[in-house]
Structure 1
């Protein structure tokens, strides 16, 4: 069986690498240096469905499909009282995050950026835009992408 937590950890790590910004699991990420919430921009990751049943009688639970929602959060510039989050900033962050599904530039099989999960291979990745939100009172704008990962054990 493929456990969910290692998949979530790998997705969070990959999004942090690709965006260069912090990622929080269902909550605003915390800056380890200050133990305070990070200011935007950042990404919020929400685990959605996780299925390990392939629907066959001989199912050994050696495969799984995991869905996630990544909310890319724009916001005001710290220390600048009249600043606001912008659609440009949230789209820039989403564009970086969308690289999760980017293929190698040389045309070789697989994905350009590895999703490193112990004893698990990700053989297919999908991303679909799910819109975004704005919260003018908080000066926050978001872009949302839902990712789906098709996984199988490699050991």
Structure 2
């Protein structure tokens, strides 16, 4: 059986790698050096569905489909009073996150960015863009992408 916890950690690391910005699971990411919340931009990662039934009579739960929501956050610059999140910032972050499903430019098999999950391989990825939201009260702009990962147990 494929561990959901290991998949979540791998997706969090992949988002961190492709965006170069902090990622928090279900909450604002905390800077370990200060113990305080990272200022935007950052990504919030929400684990959604995790299905382990491959719909066969001999199902041994050796496959899984995991769905995650990435909420990409743009916000005010803490060093500039009165600043606000910008569309440009959240679109830049979204473009970076979307590269999770990018294939290698030279036509090689697989994906541009590896998703390293102990005991599992990812053979297919999908991204569905849900859209943007904003909150004028706190100057935050967010954009949501849902990622679906098709996984198989590593031999």
Shorter-normalised TM-score: what interval?
A: over 0.9
Q: 1:99, 1:118 → 2: CA distance?
A: 22
- The Cα RMSD (Å) is 0.6
How many residue pairs match? The answer is: 155
Matches within 5 A, 1:86-105: 86-105=86-105
Secondary structure at 1:83's aligned position in 2?
coil
Q: 1:121, 1:18 → 2: CA distance?
A: 19
Q: Shift in Å at residue 80 of structure 1?
A: 0.7
Deviations 1:88-110 (A, max 9, x none): 11111010000100101110110
Q: 2:53, 2:108 → 1: CA distance?
A: 30
Q: 1:91, 1:115 → 2: CA distance?
A: 23
Q: 2:42, 2:83 → 1: CA distance?
A: 17
Q: Shift in Å at residue 119 of structure 1?
A: 1.5
Q: Shift in Å at residue 55 of structure 1?
A: 1.6
Q: 1:18, 1:112 → 2: CA distance?
A: 10
Unaligned runs of 5+ in 2: none
Q: 1:78, 1:113 → 2: CA distance?
A: 31
- Runs of 4+ aligned residues of structure 1 deviating over 3 Å after TM superposition are none
Q: Which residue of 2 aligns with 1:41?
A: 41
Q: 2:144, 2:125 → 1: CA distance?
A: 16
Q: Shift in Å at residue 72 of structure 1?
A: 0.3
Q: 2:56, 2:117 → 1: CA distance?
A: 25
Q: Which residue of 2 aligns with 1:123?
A: 123
Secondary structure at 1:5's aligned position in 2?
helix
Note if 1:59 corresponds to 2:59. yes
Unaligned runs of 5+ in 1: none
Please, what TM-score do these two structures have when normalized by structure 2?
A: 0.98
Please, what TM-score do these two structures have when normalized by structure 1?
A: 0.98
Q: 1:52, 1:68 → 2: CA distance?
A: 15
Q: 1:79, 1:112 → 2: CA distance?
A: 35
Q: Shift in Å at residue 57 of structure 1?
A: 1.5
